[in-house]
Amino acid sequence: MAVTTIKVDSLVRDRLARLAAEQGRSIGAVVADLAAATPTEEETKARVEAAIQYFRDAFGMDLTDADMTEAEEFWQRLKERQAEK
């Protein structure tokens, strides 16, 4: 596997170094785990579709566009509250 360099603010680098040291790992391993654990938009959409299909199959529920909008607004409010803390 090829290795490359990324540029980040020194505060980010220092935090990554601290996290890596606490875990006994390299900064590259911490960044790799973060990238692997963070879904892309396409992956997120696929997860949503799978969840909708699960609700259909398991509970006979069909989530409407209005249901999805309401859920999205709910999660947005939660994110905003978390950001305020």
Residue 6: the pLDDT is: 93
Sequence-ordered list of residues with C-beta below 8 angstroms from that of 52, at least 6 positions apart, any chain: 63
Residue 18: the pLDDT is: 98
pTM of the predicted model, to two decimals?
A: 0.62
Whether the CB-CB separation of 31 and 45 falls below 8 Å is answered with: no
Q: What is the residue-averaged pLDDT of the chain?
A: 93
Residue 39: the pLDDT is: 96
Q: Provide mean pLDDT across the span 71-82.
A: 94
Q: Provide mean pLDDT across the span 57-73.
A: 90
What three-state secondary structure class fits 79?
Answer: helix
pLDDT at 78 over 90: yes
